[in-house]
């Protein structure tokens, strides 16, 4: 995983639910590529055309609330989103993102200090988010060491596989 990520921000409000990230009517498929075609379409029609690889989602409180569908972080990953920064995350979305290796950061200050279109730089080593348009740097909530282990391994499957092989 790259240690420093850079991308444009797409900002949304509080309670972005999993039906907004990937509507249930498209859950008859499960690959990131197929899901990405409809990512965010009910709250931001045309998102898929606008988003570029490496871009970041900035959300408010309770990001990813609603269903347990892993299709939500998969759709974001498939659409090229490199990182989600939110004031807080719904717990199942949080797990799912860690499990599949989609980077997420909890940082209300960065959310406050970011507008759509601004360019953000995330330093994984430092756990910081820098808004390159304003020059402001924000410190994100650090991960517990156990979760960092899953992230470093690239997700729960490689992490578990390594553990099973021990």
Partner 1 sequence: MGQTIAEKILAAHTAGSVAPGKLVEVQVDMVLANDITAPISIREFAKLGVDKVFDTNKVALVPDHFAPNKDIKAAEQCKVLREFARRYGIANYWEVGRMGIEHVLLPEQGLVLPGDVVVGADSHTCTYGAVGAFATGMGSTDIAVAMATGSIWMKVPDTIRIVYRGQRQPWVGGKDLILYTIGLIGVEGARYQAIEFAGSAVAALPMSGRFTMSNMAIEAGGKAGLFVVDKATRGYLDGRASRSWTAYDADPDAAYARVIEIDVSEIEPQVAFPHLPSNARPVSEAGTIQIDQVVIGSCTNGRWDDLVEAASVLGGRRVHDDVRCVVIPGTQEIYLRAVREGLAEAFVEAGAVFSTPTCGPCLGGHMGVLAAGERCVSTTNRNFVGRMGHVESKVYLAGPAVAAASAIAGRIVGPEEVLN
Q: Whole-angstrom Cα distance, residue 128 to residue 145?
A: 17
Among 20, 107, 140, 151, binds partner 1 (CB under 8 A): 20
Asked if 152 interacts with partner 1 (CB under 8 A), we say no
Q: Please tell me the number of Cα atoms within 13 Å of 148 on its side-chain side.
A: 9
Asked if 68 interacts with partner 1 (CB under 8 A), we say yes
Asked if 88 interacts with partner 1 (CB under 8 A), we say yes
What number of other Cβ atoms are within 10 A of residue 143's Cβ? 18
In eight-state DSSP terms, residue 66 is S
> Within its chain, how far is the Cα of 3 from the centroid?
16
Provide the token pair at 23. Answer: 């509507």
Query: Nearest distance from residue 57's CB to partner 1, in Å?
Result: 17
Please name the residues in contact with 114: beta carbons below 8 A apart, sequence gap of 6 or more: 9, 11, 58, 85, 120, 131
- From residue 27 to residue 66, what is the string marking binding to partner 1 with x (rule CB under 8 A)? xxxx----------xxx-----------------xx--xx
What number of other Cβ atoms are within 10 A of residue 145's Cβ? 8
Q: Which is nearer to partner 1, 111 or 120 (CB)?
A: 111
Among 53, 125, 164, 166, binds partner 1 (CB under 8 A): 164
Q: Which is nearer to partner 1, 46 or 135 (CB)?
A: 46
Residues forming contacts to partner 1 in the complex (CB under 8 A) are: 15, 17, 19-20, 23-25, 27-30, 41-43, 61-62, 65-71, 73-74, 88, 90-92, 95-96, 99-100, 144, 146-147, 155-157, 160-161, 164-165
């Amino acid at each position: 995983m790259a240690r420093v990520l850079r991308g444009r921000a797409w900002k949304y409000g509080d309670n972005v639910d999993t039906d907004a990230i990937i509507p249930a009517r498209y859950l008859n498929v499960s690959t990131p590529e197929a899901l990405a075609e409809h990512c965010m379409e009910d709250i931001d029609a045309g998102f898929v055309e606008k988003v570029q690889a490496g871009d970041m989602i900035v959300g408010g409180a309770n990001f990813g609330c609603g269903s347990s569908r892993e299709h939500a972080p998969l759709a974001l990953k498939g659409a090229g989103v490199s990182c989600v920064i939110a004031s807080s995350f719904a717990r199942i979305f949080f797990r799912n993102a860690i499990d599949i290796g989609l980077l997420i950061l909890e940082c209300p200050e960065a959310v406050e200090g970011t507008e759509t279109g601004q360019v953000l730089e995330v330093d994984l080593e430092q756990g910081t988010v820098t808004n390159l348009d304003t020059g402001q740097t924000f410190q994100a909530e650090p991960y517990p060491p156990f979760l960092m282990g899953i992230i470093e391994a690239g997700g729960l499957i490689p992490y578990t596989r390594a553990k099973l092989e021990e």
